[in-house]
Amino acid sequence: MKSVDARRLLCPLPVIRTQDAVADLHPGDSLRVLCTDPGVIHDIPAWCRVHGHEVCDIDEQEDTITITIRVGSH
Amino acid sequence: MTEKRKAVALISGGLDSLLAARVMMDQGVHVEGINFYTGFCVEGHTHAIRKKDRARPKRNNALWVAEQLGIKLHMIDIIEEYKDVVINPKHGYGANLNPCLDCKIFMVNKARAWIDANGFDCIITGEVIGQRPMSQRRDTMPVVARESGADDRLVRPLCAKNLPATRPEQEGWLDRDRLHAFSGRSRKPQMALAAHYGFEDYAQPAGGCCFLTDKQYSVKLADLWATRGKREYELDDIMLLKVGRHLRPRPNYKLIVGREEGENRFMEGYRKRFVHLLPTSHSGPLVLLDGEPDDSDIELAARLTARFSQGRDAEYVTVEVTGVDGASRALAVKPYPAGQVPADWYL
């Protein structure tokens, strides 16, 4: 699975890194995004909703938040 | 059947761009949003830093607007390219270091390149004549259209009736009569239009979305440029200007003093790049030292660190000083008397 390291970046940069990574993927592909800014818990799902992607999982472990996305049809 | 016309809307997250996009959608135009991240945006990161802001809803207003409208939002990182706008604005600055006119020209130009690359017909902004003192005036709005290269493909639906007809109007696929003639600083027409569309929860007035319009922020940026002897910055520089108290006790260094737990945690990420100080005998702030200090500077920095600690009234406070090489030493210092910190040390 492709992964994006957006740790230490503050929103909206993790969203932008996610968007740029998704642009290279195909419908049905998955993407894992590692973040530290708690703002991503709201912003990445919001970005996914407006673009038709699915958030499969949000995992918070200490300071790292891992969000797994399944790419929808662009 | 004719193909649906397409427009990209500059979405700041405020009410005006929300309404401008909605007005176009009312006429059957396919609208997508574009949002530019300069590094100076108040949106986003600021609520992640300060603990007191963590209780607030963590909402990106541009994304929220896109959701309300049911449109896609393309978020573009322009941090590097934007530096030239901030450092060398052709049209100068506003009241602070805000290059509003150059900024608008730059963003509309980026949007113009985007519509050319993506086969869209025009650009939408939420501009209103007379609303902003620099970029939204009768004499500067044509400058934005001309210098961005957007020309008559730039549509301002909220004040279109006060401006010459744009290409979509001339071509007949946008009805000028269903556009608006707002002008001036009053927000009432926008609030009425928001009510008409059923928008109740929207971000408050435009203009507060950029740190460069903030006087204190601009003072700190000007100080950064003056002391470095060059008008340059990196993203980390402008992020650090948003956090902590900034004090410059001597020309060769300044201190960034964390004001609370959230800022201290954010600043911890920068410890390896700066000499930093932390009280150990009492609880207190993380302090980053930006500059080239000598031993007497370190002593003063430690006393100031003690002044902002819980030991401010103690006879001595122990402060750990760590260099960029990672080597630490402990200094026992008298806290700098609170009332004697000169006001002009604060940036």
Confirm if B317 and B306 have CB atoms less than 8 A apart.
yes
Across chain B, mean pLDDT equals 92
Q: Which of A16, A42, A51 sits opposite B77 (nearest CB)?
A: A16
Contact A42 B71 (CB under 8 A): no
What is this model's ipTM?
0.95
Q: Is A61 exposed, middle or buried (0-12, 13-18, 19+ CB in 10 A)?
A: exposed
Strands (E), chain B: 6-10, 30-37, 73-77, 122-124, 154-155, 245-250, 253-257, 275-279, 287-291, 317-322, 328-333
Query: Who has greater pLDDT, A71 or B201?
Result: A71
Q: Which of A15, A41, A49 sits opposite B67 (nearest CB)?
A: A49
pLDDT of residue B204: 65
**pLDDT, tens digit, 9 for 90 and up, residues B79-95:** 999 999 999 999 999 99
CA atoms within 13 A on the CB side of A16: 18
Domain spans, chain B: 6-211, 243-345
User: How far is residue B34's CA from residue B73's CA, in Å, rounded to a whole number?
Assistant: 5
What single-letter amino acid sits at B148?
S
- Which of B61, B63, B73, B261 is the mutation pick for testing A, counting most A CBs within 10 A? B63
User: How far is residue A21's CA from residue B162's CA, in Å, rounded to a whole number?
Assistant: 42
The pTM of this model reads: 0.91
The catalytic site residues of A sit at 11
The two tokens of residue B265 are 């945690």
**pLDDT, tens digit, 9 for 90 and up, residues B250-281:** 999 999 999 988 889 889 989 999 999 999 99
Cβ neighbors of B106 (< 8 A, separation 6 or more) are B78, B81, B82, B85, B148
User: Going from the N-terminus, what domains does chain A have, and what CATH number goes with each?
Assistant: 2-70 (3.30.110.40)
Q: Angle CA(B137)–CA(B139)–CA(B145) in degrees, nearest 5? A: 90
Give the least confident one: B25-39, B46-60, B284-298. B46-60
Fold observed for domain B6-211: Rossmann fold (3.40.50)
pLDDT of residue B170: 98
